[in-house]
Amino acid sequence: MKKIVIVGGAGFIGTKLSEALLEMGYAVLVVGPSAPKIRHENLEHIICDLSKGSPEVNFIDGTHGVVNLAGATIGKRWNSAYKKLLYTSRIETTKTITTLIKSSSYPPSVLVNASGIGYYGDRGTEPLDENCSQGGDFLAKLCVDWEEEALKANSNHTRVVLIRTANVLGPAGLLASLYPLFKVGLGGYFGSGKQLMPWIHWKDIVGIYIFAIENLIAGAYNASALEVVSQKYLFKLFGETIHAPFVLPVPYFLGKIALGEFADALFAGQNAVSKKICDAGYKFSVNEIKSAFKDIYPEIG
């Protein structure tokens, strides 16, 4: 039975990925500050914070693969202290993972490391594939340094796959945080709302991680649904789906007051292109935003 280590696997995506891998016959080891929310005979967990250094035992040695999902949530108000947490929770954890991989007698076949579409910065409507240059803002630097740290694990034994992830849509995460605001009429799009907002259904991000584990691919891959929509359209459709009041624009100064520097990311736009992962053989299960919301909220007619 092949074992997959999921670092930061107690969250929504990690839980869904664990469930899928267990159903496929893998053993799963979840590592992180929190215990997994599910139980299974082939599921183990270790509670530790890898951003603070290596544990006494190399739990990666002899495993088939590692998925790194670790990192403090992006969707909070950013100040200097929180930006430091965003950075260290990703970079220091990944340093520990690469150290454990390089010191393994039997290193894993693959490290699948999370990253973000924020790698490209604010690029308007410019089509962005994996060969495009990096952005210059904080989020771009975070993604660049995160990827560079993960790539240190690359060797003849271990291939490294970097998943530049769009906004993940599901019953948790972004939509869960927006739901109560929209229901009381406080939801809105940022600025003109014309900025493109890359998105991906949670089933597809899980599918792409599994695809990366099971197929001999390496390097960076965009993970964004093929339908490109504006932020205004996405948020208005979300409001209509949950029967929330009409969505209004949020001016920059209010966004800055409420969200700090995170507001800059929401006023930015990217036109991410996922042709590379499709060319490798992955087939998206949800490509239309209307279908995504219908799947996530089936009980709302």
Three-state SS annotation for the chain: CCEEEEECCCCHHHHHHHHHHHHCCCEEEEEECCCCCCCCCCEEEEECCHHHCCCCCCCCCCCCEEEECCCCCCCCCECHHHHHHHHHHHHHHHHHHHHHHHCCCCCCCEEEEEEEHHHHCCCCCCEECCCCCCCCCHHHHHHHHHHHHHHHHCCCCCEEEEEEECEEECCCCHHHHHHHHHHCCCCEEECCCCCECCEEEHHHHHHHHHHHHHCCCCEEEEECCCCCCEHHHHHHHHHHHCCCCCCEEECHHHHHHHHECHHHHHHCCCEECCHHHHHCCCCCCCCCHHHHHHHHCCCCC
pLDDT reading at 301 higher than 60: no
CATH number for the domain spanning 140: value is 3.40.50.720
Cβ neighbours of 184 (radius 10 Å):
9
In a domain, 214, yes or no: yes
Provide the residue range defining the domain that includes 159.
3-169+198-225+273-285
In a domain, 188, yes or no: no
pLDDT reading at 38 higher than 80: yes
The pTM for the full model equals 0.96
In a domain, 50, yes or no: yes
- Give the pLDDT of residue 21: 98
In a domain, 113, yes or no: yes
The residue among 137, 301, 112, 115 whose CA lies nearest residue 207 is 112
- Give the pLDDT of residue 120: 97
In a domain, 298, yes or no: no
- Give the pLDDT of residue 75: 85
Domain count, the chain: 1
How does pLDDT run across 114-155, given as a tens digit for each residue? 999 999 999 999 999 999 999 999 999 999 999 999 999 999
Q: What percent of the chain has pLDDT over 90?
A: 84
pLDDT reading at 300 higher than 80: no
How does pLDDT run across 209-244, given as a tens digit for each residue? 999 999 999 999 999 999 999 999 999 999 999 999
How does pLDDT run across 248-298, given as a tens digit for each residue? 898 998 888 888 989 899 999 999 999 999 999 999 999 999 999 999 999
Banded pLDDT at 190 (limits 50, 70, 90): very high
Q: What percent of the chain has pLDDT over 70?
A: 99
- Give the pLDDT of residue 187: 86
In a domain, 75, yes or no: yes
- Give the pLDDT of residue 215: 98
Burial 208-242 (b: 16+ CB within 10 A, else e): bbbbbbeeebbebbbbbbeebbbbbbbbbbbbebb
Banded pLDDT at 81 (limits 50, 70, 90): very high
User: In which region does residue 245 sit, left (phi positive, over 0), alpha (psi from -120 to 50) or beta (all else)?
Assistant: beta
- Give the pLDDT of residue 150: 98
In a domain, 179, yes or no: no
Given a contact cutoff of 8 angstroms between Cβ atoms, the answer to whether 29 and 45 are in contact is yes
In a domain, 292, yes or no: no
How does pLDDT run across 170-188, given as a tens digit for each residue? 999 889 888 998 898 888 9
